[in-house]
Structure 1
Amino acid sequence: MSLKQISSFAAGQWVAPGAGARTIASAITGEPFATAGNDALDVQAMLAHARDVGGPALRRLTFHERAKMLKALAQALSERKQALYDLSFETGATQKDHLIDIDGGIGTMFVFASKGRREMPDGHVYLDGDVEQLSRNGTFLGQHVCTPLQGVAVHINAFNFPVWGMLEKLAPTLLAGVPAIVKPATNSCYVTELAVRIMLDSGILPDGALQLVSGGLGDMLDHLTCQDVVSFTGSADTAMKLRQNPVIVTNSVRFVAEQDSLNASILGPDAAPGTPEFDLFVKEVVREMTTKAGQKCTAIRRIIAPEAQVEALIAAISAKLAQTTIGDPRLDGTRMGALVSNGQKADVLAKASLIGQEAERVFGDPDAFEVIGADAEKGAFVPPMLFHCADPDAARHVHDTEAFGPVSTIMGYRDLDHAIALANRGQGSLVTSLITHDPEVARQVVMGAAAFNGRIYINDRDSMQESTGHGSPLPHMVHGGPGRAGGGEEMGGVRGVKHYMQRTALQGSPRMLATIGRKWIPGAPEIQGPAHPFTRKFGELQIGETLHTAPRTITLDDIEHFAHFTGDTFYAHMNEDAAARNPFFPGRVAHGYLLLSFAAGLFVEPNEGPVLANTGLDGLRFMKPVVAGDSIKVRLSVKQKTRRTDDYGEVRWHVTLTNQDDEKVAEYELLTMNAY
């Protein structure tokens, strides 16, 4: 039987395995089935191709165009999911595991595509935060902006998630406008290679935006600059070696690491047997031990429970683990497949033996377990193993040794402070979960343990039906952790995109900043349009196009009619003496919402036109009270435009209300949808 040839994609060409290639064995049979790697890859040509071809092509696109590109890539992968499933079985993963890796990765790409359209501008510069007024009269301002790095992102991924591990890094990278060179772990690189082929064959990506190294990187890291990023997932030992590369240190190359993590799950003191929380805790532990055969960076390694509940937990967890069928992942009856390789099997057994020096194995015998549809000796199969550590305070290995497989250790705590101290012994985790129905318990754990965790997952009977699980990083939320977990961050919505951009502090006049950011700022030039702005289509409106209205006088009858009509008879509007005693008002004042209503009456064009809908307002502030006899007028300016579909776009209007003395009385941003 000939071996599958797993190629690299370098500088626009597919390169077959060559000198230095490694043989990859099936996790199920232990038999060789593929080969990957080529020591002759021209890594400098790959870097140049990314920087000189891929980078400029991506930066020419707006954030929205890149977001559309991500959506199209996700759709292309969705159409070929079955091929990815079929190949991924060789990694030892079951069909349920595929849903986490393949469907989860595609879903992550869809989320970033959506966030790119909804939360980022249809432009090339991302405005980070509000404008800062740096001078008395507002002629000198500050604004933080983010622009794409002009280098390449080198993604070094782990073996356990060959699709999700790539896409969760790739989506924010491409959305930022930075090309990527993806280097998957060799043991499962054949699945990544197929996913890359699907994306490249789709014709969606510009040349140079994505390259693939199946095998070793060679000396690629020796040629990086301050414009490049290395994003690594794997062991702490490997991360340490890469961090210490002299070029990475000298050139201050951004280095993001997600590495070893002794994640914990805490059972709250209120979650006794018979409660929904106790049953939920058992379910979460068993799922995290057996999903992907425990080969998850977020899996539960330490089970922390009240001392009084340890015995009951061991019994309940063991009973559920006993129902776990182990075997060929392609079989419908298999609930847990194999580890990725026999080398990984040897490593897990060695680490479990180390943990066994401090804890008693109470479930799972690696020398006596049943495997269905496969040979336990030839394949990389191990049973789930549960240990009990009777003295977690004296233990060391259970808090610093990660057996990257279906291995977990239960330990008892005396009180909640003790539970927090035990969780923090991990010295930095990706996630700690807490199962409790007591919000005060949750608050205490967060206050005590959040500093040691990238994520804290809290679940109970109220959220259990919709919760995503202890071990599920979500693209909306930060994934990473301090200390032992690597100190890096991934995903987190737009936060993840900014990891591949440079934040720069701009200083200048309103005109300068408005032109750079494509967003009008008070003090920037106003444009007089040829007609009322509400009569002009989305594509016709210009940033800074402004309407100044005639004034309207506010009368006491207006205030009283509005109060009785709406039912808002708050004393500040209706009682002169009471209003005068209020330190904020000189006497009876107009309702703020009356002012907004009158403002709309001043600037709205009533006839049918391109304005399709008012979708809300942001940042409303009332600056100065308006009393009967005052007048108000409005300045309405086109602040920002965001195209949503081919038929319409969102217009953000800056609205300022001033009184007869030109003093601001209110300010807000109005959102409308306008026909294109």
Structure 2
Amino acid sequence: MTLQNVQSFAAGRWIGTDDSARVIHSAVTGKVIAQAGNASLDTDEMLDYARNVGGPALREMTFHQRAKMLKALALDLSKHKQRLYDISFATGATQNDHLIDIDGGIGTMLVFASKGRREMPDDVVYLDGAVEQLSRNGTFLGQHICTPLRGVAVHINAFNFPVWGMLEKLAPTLLAGVPAIVKPATASCYVTELAVQIMIDSGILPKGALQMVAGGLGGMLGQLTNQDVVSFTGSADTALMLRSQKHILANSIRFVAEQDSLNASILGPDASPDTPEFGLFIKEVTREMTTKAGQKCTAIRRVFAPDVLVPAVLEALQESLSKVTIGDPADDATRMGALVSPSQRADVLAKAATLGKEAERVFGDPDNFTVHGASAEKGAFLPPMLFHCATPDTAVNVHEVEAFGPVSTVMPYRDLDHAVELVNKGQGSLVASVITHDAQVARLVALGAGAFHGRLYFNNRDSMKESTGHGSPLPHMVHGGPGRAGGGEEMGGIRGVMHYMQRTAIQGSPDILAAIGNKWVPGAREIDHADHPFTRSFHELEIGETYKTKERQISLADIEHFAEFTGDTFYAHMDDAAAKRNPFFPGRVAHGYLLLSFAAGLFVEPNEGPVLANTGLDNLRFTKPVEAGDSIKVHLSVKHKTPRNEEYGEVRWHVTLTNQDDELVAEYELLTMNAY
């Protein structure tokens, strides 16, 4: 077998190994299959290339252009999934494990691409929150904006997910407009190298947007600035060592950590063995113990059940685990493959021995188990190992020691408060799950354990068919956790993008804010045009373009006809005496929706044109009642424009309704789809 030299991609070129390279073993056969590392990498050159080549190229792109780039990357990677599957078997992962790592990583990138198009502007500035009025008359305003950091993101990834672990960090980083240097764990870096090769060869990425270090980073972290970010996944000890470096602390360099986590699952007190929830609980625990051979940062390490149900839980888990086939991960019959390396196997055995000081091993003998299609002696195989700790209140190790493999410990709780107390002994976790059909159980756990967990996953008979599982971080939701889990929040939709951007408070006049944010704000300059705005295409419309309508008087007959026609005979519109007793109304008033309907009649251009559809309105508020005899007029301004596809885009209009005295009676944002 040819020894693979895993290369680094640095400053636009592939660089091979040198004498400092470390060997990499197959998790299945134990044979040396690759080597990685080059101590002579020029980290100064890499950082300079990222900051001065990759950064400017990415920042020239809008969020939508970056989102389209992510989608193109994901689709191209998807064409090469089989190559990634084939090479990943040597890590000990099964085909089902590949679906989580490879397909999951590609799916994550696609979600960020979609969110970038839908939730971010087709611009280079992201507006964070609403405009703040800082003066009485609105001539001095405030707005928070987010812009890309001018540095580089250094991603230090773990061995267990060589594709997903890279892509879930890379997607929000590139969407933010920041270049990345990826440093995969050496044990599985050959898989990451292939994924990087595919992305580089696609030609989709700008030069300098992505680099990769196979092996050690050398002194790179000591060369970072306050415009750089370190995003780390791994052990708490390594995270502490890295983030506490004097240079990192002195320069306030952002450090996002996702680290050790003694995740838990609670069987609700309502989930007796005859309920669907009990079977679901057993299935979830079994799956989390055996997927990726338990090498998941979100795997269930601690299992809590009502004390009277512990015997039934132990019996059911032993039966379920006995059906797990351990063996060659390339064999379709295999349910659990090997750990990533002999050293990882040794580490799990050592941690399991520590747990054994407080808990009894009730299933899984590491010295006596069957491996199908492979050698237990040569490969890094272990059986699922289930422990039972009868005294979780006084135990220490079960709440502090993580055996990063197929190891879990079952523990009893007396009542729900006790369960929450025990779960929180983990001192911060990525996820805890609760299997219950009782909504009040879920609420109490959320209130009691929320502060200690980045994610709480509730499942029962109602959601089990569509749920994604305890251990599946989704790009829409925060992935991270407090305390022991590192304090970071990767992903979480656009929240994840913000790790790589700077939030800045902008203060100034309406024109200044409108120019910076490329979004019209009340009080900013208005543009008058001879043509009705509904006759002008998406691209022809200008931010701030304004249309002012004539007045329309509201009559009592209008109010009564609208009430009869719609069936809305609320007393404030029909009974003058009752309306006067209401502190909000002077007497009978017009319906709010009548005002909206009349407003549309005032500003709509009825002929066929670029406006394709009215898709809704946002932020509607009625500010002053309108009585019979009052008049209304409309002020319509183009607030913002967002491309949606190749044919049309969304126009957001700022709409105000005023009465005959120029007093504001209603305000909202109208959304239309306009042809290009």
Structures share fold, TM-score greater than 0.5: yes
Number of the residue aligned with 1:88: 88
Letter in 1 for 2:40: A
How far residue 245 of structure 1 moved from its aligned partner, in angstroms, is 1.2
Q: Which amino acid aligns with 1:368?
A: N
Aligned counterparts, 1:436-447, within 5 A: 436-447=436-447
Q: What is the CA–CA distance in structure 1 between the aligned matches of 2:253 and 2:170, rounded to whole Å? A: 18
Q: Which residue of 2 aligns with 1:205?
A: 205
- Corresponding position of 1:331: 331
Q: Report the Cα distance in structure 2 between the residues aligned to 1:397 and 1:521, rounded to whole angstroms.
A: 57
List alignment gaps of at least 5 residues for structure 1.
none
Q: What residue number does 1:542 align with?
A: 542
Check the 8 A contact 1:61/1:124 in 2, yes or no.
Answer: yes
Which residue does 2:120 correspond to in 1? 120
Secondary structure of the corresponding residue to residue 562 of structure 2: helix
Quick one: distance in 1 between partners of 2:630 and 2:571? 19
Which digits, 9 at most, give the CA deviation of each residue in 1:69-99, with x for residues without a partner? 0000000100000000000000000000000
Are 1:359 and 2:359 matched, yes or no? yes
Residues 253-299 of structure 1 show CA distances to partners (whole Å, capped at 9, x for unaligned) of: 00000000000000000000010001100000000000000000000
Alignment of 1:49 with 2:14, yes or no, is: no
CA offsets, 1:108-138, max 9 Å, x none?
0000000000000000100000000000000
CA distance in 2, matches of 1:117, 1:363: 49
AA matched with 1:470: H
Q: What one-letter code is carried by the residue in structure 2 that aligns with 1:89?
A: F
1:249 — aligned with what?
249
Q: Distance in 1 between matches of 2:137 and 2:332?
A: 72
The equivalent residue for 1:674 is: 674
* Cα separation, 2, equivalents of 1:135 and 1:377: 75
**Equivalent position of 1:149 in the other structure:** 149
In structure 1, the residue matched to 2:657 is: 657
1:192 aligned residue? 192
CA distance, structure 2, for counterparts of residue 489 and residue 587 of structure 1: 53
Alpha-carbon distance in structure 2 between the residues aligned to 1:261 and 1:388: 19
Find the counterpart in structure 2 of residue 131 from structure 1. Answer: 131
Aligned-residue CA RMSD (Å): 0.5
Unaligned runs of 5+ in 2: none
CA distance in 2, matches of 1:182, 1:443: 40
Q: Residue 243 of structure 1 aligns to which amino acid in structure 2?
A: R
The answer for the alignment partner of 1:385 in structure 2 is 385
Deviations 1:310-366 (A, max 9, x none): 000000011010000000000011000000000000000000000000000000000
CA deviations over 1:538-576 (Å, ceiling 9, x no partner): 000000000000000000000000000000011000000
Aligned partner of 1:224 in structure 2 is 224
Aligned residue in 1 for 2:552: 552
SS of match in other structure, 1:387: strand
Given that 1:430 and 1:454 are in contact with CA atoms closer than 8 Å, whether structure 2 keeps it comes out as yes
- Counterpart in the other structure of 1:475: 475
Deviation at 1:530, TM superposition (A): 3.0
Q: Deviations over 1:162-191 (max 9, x none)?
A: 000000000000000000000000000000
Tell me the TM-score normalised to structure 1 length: 1.00
Q: Sequence identity of aligned pairs in percent?
A: 76
2:59 corresponding residue in structure 1: 59
Aligned to 1:320: 320
Q: Report the equivalent of 1:167.
A: 167
Contact 1:115/1:494 (CA < 8 Å) preserved in 2?
yes
Q: Which residue of 2 aligns with 1:629?
A: 629
Structure 2: distance between partners of 1:149 and 1:601: 47
Match of 1:516 in 2: 516
Secondary structure (helix, strand or coil) at the match of 1:144 reads strand
Does the residue aligned with 2:138 lie in a helix, a strand or coil?
Answer: coil
Aligned-partner residue type, residue 362 of structure 2: V
Q: Is contact 1:560–1:574 with CA below 8 Å preserved after alignment?
A: yes
**C-alpha distance in structure 2 between counterparts of 1:340 and 1:293, whole Å:** 9
- 1:515 and 1:453 map into 2 onto residues whose CA distance is 41
Q: CA deviation at 1:309?
A: 0.4
Aligned to 1:13: 13
Tell me the alpha carbon deviations over residues 421-473 of structure 1, each in whole angstroms, 9 at most, x when there is no partner: 00000000000100001011111111110000000000111111101100000
1:180 corresponds in structure 2 to: 180
The aligned counterpart of 1:414 is 414
CA-to-partner distance for each residue in 1:373-415, whole Å, 9 max, x for gaps? 0000010000000000010111000000000000000000011
Amino acid across the alignment from 1:291: T
- Deviation of 1:647 (Å): 1.3
What is the aligned partner in structure 2 of residue 452 from structure 1?
Answer: 452
Match of 2:530 in 1: 530
Q: What amino acid is the match of 2:417? A: D
Per the TM alignment, residue 644 of structure 1 is displaced from its structure 2 partner at its CA by 1.1
C-alpha distance in 2 between matches for 1:232 and 1:446: 27
| Aligned match of 2:425 | 425
> How far apart in 2 are the matches of 1:637 and 1:370?
72
Tell me which residue corresponds to 2:102.
Answer: 102
- Give the structure 2 partner of residue 24 of structure 1: 24
- Tell me, in whole angstroms, the C-alpha distance in 2 between the residues paired with 1:401 and 1:427: 12
Give 1:244 shift. Answer: 1.2
Paired with 2:584 and 2:437, the residues of 1 have a C-alpha distance of: 43
Q: 1:604 maps to which residue?
A: 604
* Post-superposition offset of 1:2: 2.3
SS at match of 2:166: helix
Counterpart of 1:624, as a letter, is K
Residue in 2 aligned with 1:576? 576
Q: Distance in 2 between matches of 1:89 and 1:672?
A: 50
SS at match of 1:131: strand
Deviation (angstroms), 1:495: 0.4
Q: What CA distance in whole angstroms lies between the structure 2 residues aligned with 1:439 and 1:244? A: 42
Please tell me the residue identity of whatever aligns with 2:173: T
Q: CA deviation at 1:529?
A: 1.6
Once residues 261 and 667 of structure 1 are traced to their aligned partners in structure 2, the CA distance between those partners, rounded to angstroms, is 48
Q: For the residues of structure 1 that align with 2:639 and 2:462, how far apart are their CA atoms? A: 42
Deviations 1:452-506 (A, max 9, x none): 0000000111111101100000000000000000011100000000110000000
| Distance across 1 between alignment mates of 2:598 and 2:2 | 79
Query: CA deviation digits over 1:42-85, x for unaligned, max 9?
Result: 00100000000000000000000000000000001000000000
Q: CA deviation at 1:19?
A: 2.8
1:77 corresponds to: 77
Mapped to 1, the partners of 2:152 and 2:458 lie a distance apart of 37
The 3-state SS of whatever aligns with 1:658 is strand
Match of 1:311 in 2: 311
Paired residues, what number?
A: 676
Q: Is this contact kept in 2: 1:533–1:541, CA < 8 A?
A: yes
| Structure-1 separation of matches of 2:81 and 2:657 | 55
Distance 1:19 1:48 in 2: 26
Contact 1:94 1:334 in 2 (8 A): yes
Secondary structure of the equivalent of 1:128? strand
Aligned to 1:648: 648
Between the aligned partners of 2:527 and 2:480, the Cα distance in structure 1 is 47
* Whole-angstrom distance in 2 between the partners of 1:236 and 1:540: 55
Separation in structure 2 between the aligned mates of residue 530 and residue 9 of structure 1, nearest angstrom: 56
Runs (4+) off by over 2 Å:
none
Q: Check the 8 A contact 1:19/1:40 in 2, yes or no.
A: no
